[in-house]
Structure 1
Amino acid sequence: MKIECIGEGVKLNDKVYPCTVSLAMDLVGGKWKTVILYHLKSEPKRYSELLKEMQAVTEMTLSLQLKQLEKDGLITRKVYGNKPPVKVVYSLTDFGKTFIPVLEAITAWGNQVTEQKGTFVRNSL
């Protein structure tokens, strides 16, 4: 039996998953979490920078996904100043940085699929 399927599941932060793939997808799955991590892999960014780079995401969705990624320990949120307007910067944690090779593989695969089956389009803005 493969290691990811040994026993009756795996546990992380008091949550039990049927396998390690399920655990990983809970941490980074969905439409936006991986995209957020991609935008943070090179450098820390402010909320407004992420929103600008991810034009299709709503403010509410971005906010919720950032909170979930922070809760799961993949990103950190640092607040500068104590009076509004404060500066808030998001960055990958050491744990989040372990996902960079996966991000690079996903990016390479997405580029390959687009080159073979799709088309790169330019933003008309």
Structure 2
Amino acid sequence: MSKNNHLNDVRGCTENHKCPVTSAMDVIGGKWKVIILYHLRDNTLRFGELRKRIPKITQKMLTQQLRELELNHLVERKIYAEVPPRVEYTSTYIADELRPIMDMLCDWSIRHHEKLRPDVE
């Protein structure tokens, strides 16, 4: 799809027709989803491992975000019949398609870090 087609899609947004950006943000928006997906790229992680990698997220929020990502087919959850049960999370091919976007976000953040967050070291 060309750049002009994207512009037409966005200009055509009405209450009866969601624009593509709104649809995407409905699925990956919020504070934690992209961060979770970033940690799951090329990794299969257990819940506790995700908590360690994202220390500021609460257990309740991580559970909620993982469920939403799973419902939207961005994360796959595998439960092992062990005692205690072991659960692992993996990104799906749909989430893997976001890799170039996440790479671009990382590059953009690195380039503009001082301007975006001058008070953070």
Superposed pair shares fold, TM > 0.5: yes
Q: Is the 8 A contact 2:12 2:19 kept in 1?
A: no
Does 1:36 pair with 2:54?
Answer: no
Alignment of 1:15-94 (within 5 A): 18-80=18-80, 82-94=81-93
**Alignment partner, residue 103 of structure 2:** 104
Counterpart Cα distance in 2 of 1:120 and 1:6: 37
Alignment RMSD (CA, Å): 2.2
User: What is the CA distance between 1:18 and its match in structure 2?
Assistant: 2.0
User: What is the CA distance between 1:3 and its match in structure 2?
Assistant: 4.1
**Alignment partner, residue 95 of structure 1:** 94
Does 1:4 pair with 2:3?
Answer: no
TM-score, structure 2 as length reference: 0.82
Q: Which structure carries more helix by proportion?
A: 2
Gapped runs of 5+ residues in structure 2?
none
Q: Is the 8 A contact 2:75 2:92 kept in 1?
A: yes
Compared CA separation, residues 106 and 8, structure 1 to 2 (3 A): closer
TM-score, structure 1 as length reference: 0.80
User: What is the CA distance between 1:83 and its match in structure 2?
Assistant: 4.0
Counterpart Cα distance in 2 of 1:17 and 1:23: 10
User: What is the CA distance between 1:84 and its match in structure 2?
Assistant: 3.0
Compared CA separation, residues 17 and 68, structure 1 to 2 (3 A): farther
Secondary structure of 1:56's match? coil
Residues 7-51 of structure 1, C-alpha deviations (whole Å, 9 max, x = no match): 566xxxxxx752000001011110000000000012111110000
Number of residue pairs matched by the alignment: 114
Compared CA separation, residues 96 and 58, structure 1 to 2 (3 A): same
Counterpart Cα distance in 2 of 1:6 and 1:116: 31
Compared CA separation, residues 83 and 23, structure 1 to 2 (3 A): same
Q: Is the 8 A contact 2:46 2:88 kept in 1?
A: yes
